[in-house]
Amino acid sequence: MPCITLDETNCSKTCETTKIRYDEILLYDQPVFYFIYIDIKEIFACLRR
């Protein structure tokens, strides 16, 4: 289950392909929850188009 966050400190990893910052919560070495960082400036830029 993903969760979008505006707090960059929640996301310590970066995807090599997309360069999107994220982190995950593991349960028995299996990811069960993802934090995905989205910059608020990118959201407003998308809304203005």
The tokens for 16 are 């090599």
pLDDT tens readout for residues 22-49 = 999 999 999 999 999 999 998 899 899 8
Q: What is the mean pLDDT of residues 9-17?
A: 92
pLDDT at residue 10 tops 90: no
Q: Are 8 and 36 in contact (CB under 8 A)?
A: no
Tell me what pLDDT residue 14 has.
94
Give the domain ranges of the chain.
Answer: 2-48
pLDDT at residue 17 tops 90: yes
Beta bridge partners of 18: none
DSSP state of 7: -
Tell me what pLDDT residue 42 has.
86
